[in-house]
Amino acid sequence: TDSFFERSHLTPQQILYLAADWVENPTKPILHVARDFKVDKNSVTKMHEMFRQLTKSWFYRETGKDQHQMLGGPHKIVEIDETMMYRAKYNKGRMLTRKQVWVFGMIERGTSKIIMFRVSRRNAQTLIPIIRKYIKPGTTIISDAWRAYGGIAQLQEGYNHGVVTHKTNFVAPNDKRIHTQSIEASWGALKRKLKARFGDPEQRLGGHLFNYMF
Q: Are residues 84 and 55 in the same domain?
A: no
SS (H, E, C) the chain: CCCHHHHCCCCHHHHHHHHHHHHHCCCCCHHHHHHHHCCCHHHHHHHHHHHHHHHHHHHHHHHHHCCCCCECCCCCEEEEEEEEEEEEEEEECCEEEEEEEEEEEEEECCCCCEEEEEECCCCHHHHHHHHHHHECCCCEEEEECCHHHCCHHHCCCCCEEEEECCCCCCECCCCCCCECHHHHHHHHHHHHHHHHCCCCCHHHHHHHHHHHHC
Q: Which of 23-27, 74-78, 143-147 has the lowest mean pLDDT?
A: 23-27
- If asked whether residues 116 and 156 sit together in one domain, one would say yes
Q: pLDDT tens digit string along 35-74?
A: 999 999 888 888 877 877 777 676 666 665 555 558 999 9
Looking at the structure, do residues 112 and 39 belong to the same domain, yes or no? no
Task: Based on the fold, state whether residues 43 and 140 are members of the same structural domain.
Answer: no
Q: What pLDDT digit, counting tens, does each position of 135-173 carry? A: 999 999 999 999 999 999 999 999 999 999 888 888 888
Do 20 and 111 belong together in one domain? no
Residues 125 and 19 in one domain: no
Range of the domain at 134: 77-204
Is residue 142 assigned to a domain? yes
Does 154 lie in the same domain as 88?
A: yes
CA distance 117 to 105: 6
Q: What is the CATH number of the domain that holds 133?
A: 3.30.420.10
**Do residues 51 and 24 make contact, with C-beta atoms less than 8 angstroms apart?**
no
Does residue 71 form part of some domain? Answer: no
Global pTM? 0.68
Which of 66, 89, 112 finishes a domain? 66
Overall number of domains in the chain: 2
Residues 43 and 82 in one domain: no
Within this chain, do residues 39 and 99 fall inside the same structural domain, yes or no?
no
What integer best gives the mean pLDDT of the chain?
Answer: 81
Most confident of 2-6, 31-35, 48-52, 133-137: 133-137
